[in-house]
Amino acid sequence: MLNRKNKLVILKLLSLFSVVRGYNILIIVVAQYLSSIFILAPHIQLQQIVLDPNLFVIVLASSGVIAAGYIINNFYDREKDLINRPQKTMLDRLVSQRTKLTGYFVLNFLSVVCASYVSFRAVVFFSVYIFSIWFYSHKLKKFPIIGNIVASSLAITPFFAVFIYYKNFDEVIFVHATFLFLILVMREMIKDLGNLRGDLAQNYNTIPIKYGERTSKQIISTLIVAASIPIYLLLTSYDIGYMYLYFYASILLLLFFFIGIWASKERTHYVWLHNILKFIIVVGAFSIVLIDVNLILDRILWH
């Protein structure tokens, strides 16, 4: 049986994991490696990618910066989250604000140190990334449209770190990135609709607050139509193997999502819609392996 002290330690570890959203970071790590193997560097053998120390350091630095970003975002949003997500906030508060800030600075410092192993350009890249996350959390997230676009751009930045490393400028990569970016913008806007009460209480100037919920839903509907363009291009103009199954499924989910937007009125409805977009993002990360099934078998054997 665990004593009270051990239980408190476990709860604090769970709290820290909740603050840095370890599950999200794990998915990003997997997505960075899969995109490297199947999209960015398909000509390089599996063992060279998996055992590449530079790629490992880039992924490690990305994870550190993202974790630190979640910490500083949690720090600035603590009052708003207490209204919107009281249960999660109570768990997050088991770790003191001082400990969180210490973790924030340590993670960012270690990430820059890791980046220095790759190159000076990597140090500059991650330093700018760190500053951008802080500036977004401190200032930009309270502004409509700009906050949504910047948040989505920051979420996709770890993939650009790998993209820059491999210097692969194939057009198909930008089409994939455009689809992901549009889904991320929709997710940010759905979060604004679901967080309306907390945003109002904390004087956040989001789209649904400044322009109304109807306008916000109209913009999201337009983004759904816009997302159909990269889907169409990927299905008709590029060889994406069996990943076409994922995009057909995405069309159905986005259609259901579109219907759900206009039927939604309560926070619980927006949480469900947010989960649909999150599902599309997560499944998309793992669906990358479907681009070339034969490549999977070959690379498992390391031939």
Question: Residue 303: what pLDDT?
Answer: 46
Q: Which CATH class is domain 10-300?
A: mainly alpha
Q: Quote the pLDDT of residue 73.
A: 86
Per-residue confidence (pLDDT) for residue 47, from 0 to 100: 81
Q: Where are the domains of the chain?
A: 10-300
Residue 133 confidence (pLDDT): 94
All residue ranges of the chain with pLDDT < 50 are 302-303
- pLDDT of amino acid 15: 67
Going by C-alpha positions, the residue among 27, 81, 17, 90 that lies closest to residue 59 is 27
pLDDT at 164: 86
CA distance 302 to 259: 46
Q: How many residues are listed for the chain in this entry? A: 303
